[in-house]
Structure 1
Amino acid sequence: MRVVVHVGLTKTGTTHLQGLLAAHAPALLGAGVLYPTQPPGLHFRGAVDVRGSAGVFGLTPEEVDGAWQRLCAQAREHVETTGGDAVIGHEVLAGATPEQADRALRALEGLEVHVVVTARDLGRQAVAHWQERVKLGETRSFTDFEREELFGDSGRDRGPDAGGVRPRFWHGQDFADTLRRWTFALPPERGHLVVCPAPGAPGEELWHRFAEAAGLPEDLVDATADVRANSSLGAAEVALLREVNRRLGDSMPTDVRHRVVKREYAEGELAARDSLPARTPATAAGLLADRSHAWLEEVVAAGHVVHGAVDDLEPVVAGPGDPAPDTDPPADLDPEQVVAMLRTRAEGGSAQTTARRPRWWRRG
């Protein structure tokens, strides 16, 4: 009676894996594995419930209260009545405090719980982290992000051993610390680190590594299926979004901004444009590699299980021809016109927006 809790990290293929699990939920259930899909969005709301962060995501407390308990109740009922396994989780869980993780796992007490953390090289993660903050409304350049979070204001390393308040990037990407927070009450072999494949690997490789960690039958899922993924923006599109954010200011409520600017425009339209992605400058490669190596040593020493090639954690940084993160917006998009269009959409009301949502929106 095993429950697999996938806690992220963010930007490590989590959305793609969730899409595969949801699309193949009937086939998995036929093999004895439950991936809850009803009601829609329960995994996300459950994770927000654990974190107590409804306002951050533009939700009301009433929309998330008790969601984690309901998700765990579905998992418990399945494994106790059928003897099968269940998979639950969302990347929002990765930032949970030790106290939040402890309360979350108490809802699964008495079951065999396994925790899976997915991790990707810090070169791609640095740009992805900065980009996600821009999607949420920040206007900060990558140069400022690099100075303030990667190296610190004075140019010194403000990584996890530098003391003081830990910058958001290091807290969010430390896979060793995430496993420690989520497995402190579990046998070490129930903690799993899945290494995301390096660029150029077969598209289905991430699924194979995750399935191995979660103990899932790999052949029941078509890992090449076209499911939703949290696609990255090109460097020029991030520049446009920063300018749009600057002009919008705080004029939109959080829930409206998430819906109209982040989900519909950034992830729905800008991500579909054919544009070169930014790469982290090579000057950060040494710091990022040192951190990855230290975290990996900690994971191995703790007795957790590693799935995938550890060399895939070597940071991917900029090479000749890669655009700098801080560049100009696309010439064919006028920020002022984009802002006007977004304001019109925001004023259009929730009914029109709901009608435009694609099918994946309704998935759990």
Structure 2
Amino acid sequence: MRVVLHVGLPKTGTTYLQALLAGQRDALRAGGVVHPFVRPGAMFEGAVEVRGSAAKFGLDPQRVGGTWQALCERARTFLEQEGGRTAVLSHEVLAGATPDQVRWALAPLAGLEVHVVVTARDLGRQAVAHWQEEVKLGSTASFADLEREQLRCDTGRDAGPDAGGRRPHFWHAQDFAAALDRWTEPLPAGRGHLVLAPPPGAPRELLWQRFARACGIDPQLVDPTVEVSANPSLGATQVALLREVNREVQRLGERGSGLDAAQRHQLVKREYAEGVLAAQGGRPARAPAELADVLGAPARRWLAEAQAAGHSLHGEPDDLAPVLAGPGEEGPDVAPPAGADPVALARGLVAAARPRGRTWPWRRSSAR
């Protein structure tokens, strides 16, 4: 009997894996595996409770309180009373947990065999995904800003959050070796597992197969080829438009008519960015080729650290080679689509937050 905590990292195929776990619960249960269900959204809310970040996501702290304990109790009941063999809890919000938060999260699982799985992906794709996610959450920064302010800054852990918060967020969020160390430090040796996301062009199901083996699950219990929801990415021009919309939403906020955290998360991120803009497609953004050493060297160092610490590896080391733009290929920072009106779109989003003002401006041609 074991409990597997899949703690991220963000943007490493977690949405795909979680959709398989949730969508094929019955098949997994028949094979002795549970992905605990308490209520819709509980896995996310439980992770938010562990991190103490309800306000960041616009959630009611009273609603999330007790959710992690309930998930752990469901896992324990399945293993100890229902004859199950494996329970899998998964959410990428857990990845950045502090040592104190890790110990708090592990406490309800005392006496069970706990394993930790971290998924990682090459830092070329991660840099672009990290930037896009920040823009979805309201940032107006260009990729050049990210490169200057974070990517080319000190990656050392001695400047991390525990030392005053000086380590750039990108490096803290992507340091898979540090995440493994924080989550496995209270556990016996041999409980950490690193799963590498396959490179572009590889069969999608390869990620599931690697993940399942890391969890000790028979990969055949799940059909990894079924259509599942994925965390949508944006084309380069769509990110450019969203940055301008964010800028206008901020200006409206400064005038007293903006969006609160919950409204911004639902309307801007979920409905507009991940719904409308993601559906438009567009040329994918690629990190510039000159970042090869900036992004390649830390990944190689972290991999060596993870293996030296005894964490098992599922994947090929070359899968961590950064995916970058080719020679002459346009960079991530481009102009918004011709004809787009960020001011009108921002005003429409703010109006949509009012009960009688849902104008849905993105259904007009100006959103394209």
Band of TM-score, shorter chain: over 0.9
Percentage of identical aligned residues: 57
The TM-score normalised by the length of structure 2 is 0.91
Pairing of 1:85-234 with structure 2 (within 5 A): 85-152=86-153, 158-160=154-156, 163=159, 165-234=166-235
Counterpart Cα distance in 1 of 2:114 and 2:149: 37
User: How far is 1:184 from its partner?
Assistant: 0.4
Structure 2 unmatched runs, 5+: 361-368
Q: Is the 8 A contact 1:235 1:323 kept in 2?
A: no
User: How far is 1:323 from its partner?
Assistant: 3.1
Larger displacement relative to structure 2 (188-197 or 78-87): 78-87
Change (3 A) 1:38 1:350: farther
Counterpart Cα distance in 2 of 1:336 and 1:188: 55
Q: Is the 8 A contact 1:24 1:221 kept in 2?
A: yes
Counterpart Cα distance in 2 of 1:352 and 1:110: 54
State the match for 2:45 in structure 1: 45
> Which deviations, in whole Å up to 9, do the C-alpha atoms of 1:190-239 show, x marking residues without a partner?
10000000001011111111011011121121111111111211111110
Q: Is the 8 A contact 2:249 2:347 kept in 1?
A: no
Counterpart Cα distance in 2 of 1:63 and 1:245: 29
Q: Is the 8 A contact 1:101 1:181 kept in 2?
A: yes
Counterpart Cα distance in 2 of 1:29 and 1:128: 33
SS in 2 for 1:87: strand
State the match for 1:248 in structure 2: 249
> Which deviations, in whole Å up to 9, do the C-alpha atoms of 1:19-43 show, x marking residues without a partner?
0111100110111111123301111
State the match for 1:3 in structure 2: 3
Change (3 A) 1:52 1:349: farther
Counterpart Cα distance in 2 of 1:209 and 1:223: 12
Structure 1 unmatched runs, 5+: 153-157, 354-364
User: How far is 1:160 from its partner?
Assistant: 1.8
Q: Is the 8 A contact 1:160 1:171 kept in 2?
A: no
Counterpart Cα distance in 2 of 1:350 and 1:210: 45
Is 1:20 paired with 2:16?
Answer: no
Counterpart Cα distance in 2 of 1:333 and 1:16: 32
Counterpart of 1:268, as a letter, is: G
> Which deviations, in whole Å up to 9, do the C-alpha atoms of 1:116-164 show, x marking residues without a partner?
0000000110111111111000111111111010113xxxxx1125746
User: How far is 1:87 from its partner?
Assistant: 0.5
State the match for 1:301 in structure 2: 308
Counterpart of 1:256, as a letter, is: Q
Counterpart of 1:29, as a letter, is: R
Higher RCO (C-alpha 8 Å, min separation 6): 1
User: How far is 1:340 from its partner?
Assistant: 3.0
The TM-score normalised by the length of structure 1 is 0.92
User: How far is 1:321 from its partner?
Assistant: 5.6
User: How far is 1:89 from its partner?
Assistant: 2.0
> Which deviations, in whole Å up to 9, do the C-alpha atoms of 1:79-107 show, x marking residues without a partner?
11114211112000001001101110111
Counterpart of 1:146, as a letter, is: E
Change (3 A) 1:351 1:185: farther
Pairing of 1:257-268 with structure 2 (within 5 A): 257-268=264-275
Counterpart Cα distance in 2 of 1:341 and 1:224: 38
Q: Is the 8 A contact 1:276 1:322 kept in 2?
A: no
Change (3 A) 1:176 1:72: same
Counterpart Cα distance in 2 of 1:39 and 1:132: 26
SS in 2 for 1:223: coil
Q: Is the 8 A contact 1:192 1:307 kept in 2?
A: yes
Counterpart Cα distance in 1 of 2:359 and 2:3: 39
State the match for 2:79 in structure 1: 79
Is 1:275 paired with 2:282?
Answer: yes
Q: Is the 8 A contact 1:282 1:319 kept in 2?
A: yes
Change (3 A) 1:350 1:188: farther
SS in 1 for 2:27: helix
State the match for 1:336 in structure 2: 343
User: How far is 1:66 from its partner?
Assistant: 1.0
Counterpart Cα distance in 1 of 2:84 and 2:356: 46
Q: Is the 8 A contact 1:2 1:113 kept in 2?
A: yes
Counterpart of 2:282, as a letter, is: S
Larger displacement relative to structure 2 (138-147 or 333-342): 333-342
Counterpart Cα distance in 1 of 2:212 and 2:282: 32
State the match for 2:321 in structure 1: 314
User: How far is 1:325 from its partner?
Assistant: 1.2
Counterpart Cα distance in 2 of 1:129 and 1:137: 13
